[in-house]
Structure 1
Amino acid sequence: MTLTRDDLGDAIVELNQSFFVSPIGVIEQVNTTGSEFDNLISNGVQAYAHDVSGDCHHKYAIVDHSEVGSDPLVITGSHNWSSSAENVNDENTVIVHNARVANLYHQEFRGILNALNGGGDAVQDLGVRHWTLMPNPAREQAWVQGVNATDAVTVLDAGGRQVQLDVWRQGNVAQLELGALSPGMYHVVVTAANGVVTTTRLAVQ
């Protein structure tokens, strides 16, 4: 995907400064005239270069793939994020409001990140979350309540990499020790014995 529109680049930077939003993206043509790639990188956005022409021609955005209650969606189509696409070309844009589709696109996106930087595995099959996380935001500790004894509880950083932290289990509660984590957005991932994965965001202050 080509991203050359200043207003879109600035909007992503502004979102990245929000404590509860953590945009991550892959841009194909980072050296094209007017590319927003350097703007994103210099402002701390997790943007990755995939500058091999024709090898990564995807054009999509995924919103809230892991938050079933917040209307997960995918924005896709032929439309680059450029002025030519907006004002000159005959493009199409499709917006899909579907949690399953958003999760499938997220797996594909994680696969691309893996190929670029060896990041964490894609989130797998999306189930209905039966557990709660509190408090959120959190500082030193957080508790996952309602998990089964056979559920695996892990924490991923915004780049999809598993972080190392102590998890103490008692009954259907998992206590997460967050003191060693840097402030930012994380994902708490619960994997059931049957392989179904559910996630939610965790803001660490």
Structure 2
Amino acid sequence: MLGKTDFDCFDNETAAGFRQHDIQILQTGRSIGHEEWITYPDGERVLLDTVKTPFFGADGQASGVVGISRDVTERKRFEQRLADSEARYRALSELLPQMVWTATADGALDYTNDWVIEYFGCGAEQLAGAGWQKYVHPEDLPAVSACWRQAVESGSVYEAELRLRHHSGRYFYHLARAVPHRDSQAQSRSGTVAAPTFPSARKPRSGWSYRPGYFRKRTKPS
């Protein structure tokens, strides 16, 4: 590579882009950093994370450019796969006829699907963190919180019966369940909230069976 220019190693468009960066650095005396896709002569296409900086002569004037490039192709592809996977998860959660949510180990909500928003009649930001607690019946909240702590400490499935305030102002019994999972940082949980076949202010007596989309089918609960 010694003695060769960018035009000797890359196609004219790519080389011209490199040359423009070099001119900018020499004119401003400032370093620049950027990511750029390039194609090598053998046809391989890679993403480079490049930092270029000027070096100065004895007279204090920029007389050349030093650059360091790092191949970050695999990192970029991993990020794209992760984004695609998250998009699929979000799409599936919206298709499920139940309230779906995720929370951190301390019980702070960090995701809710549209069914949650529709039931409570508020924005996701109002439910985020500990905001959801104000929609739980005051008599149920202590037991719900204790059940959550026990599930987190034991690493077991979380399951709790509780009354949640509908946007009409009425409370209805629900069954909330969540399973633990860990990411690279800490434990978090993915869960659902289901309504009994006939949502009412009374606790179900004969076990839990579900009618998907019950609340979505009615503007007013019966």
Scaled by the length of structure 1, the TM-score of the pair is 0.23
Answer with 1 or 2: which has the greater Rg.
Answer: 2
Structure showing the higher helix proportion among its residues = 2
* TM-score of the superposed pair, with normalisation by structure 2: 0.22
